[in-house]
Amino acid sequence: MGAPATATRAGLFPLDLRTDPDMPGASTLDLNLTVYTPTREVTGRATVSQALQDPVVAVSHVSGVFL
């Protein structure tokens, strides 16, 4: 008999999300994430911005797990 088979875990994919505000000048949230389904881990970058003359831009690393 041969060696026992090893289970291969696959399931890494990118996920890009963006809010679509209804009001001019409202904040927009962009999420650029990588999702790894075997361990339910999510990691990536969040960017909050506003379409104003002097725009406010905040960028942050995000990570967590999904249910």
Domain boundaries, the chain: 12-65
Helix/strand/coil (H, E, C) string of 8-31?
CCCCEEEEEEECCCCCCCCEEEEE
State the average pLDDT over residues 43-62. 92
Q: Tell me the pLDDT tens digit for each residue of 13-26.
A: 999 999 988 888 88
Q: Which of 6, 2, 3, 33 is nearest to 17 (CA)?
A: 33
Share of residues in the chain with pLDDT > 90 (%): 60
pTM of the model: 0.76
Q: What is the CATH architecture assignment of 12-65?
A: Single Sheet (2.20)
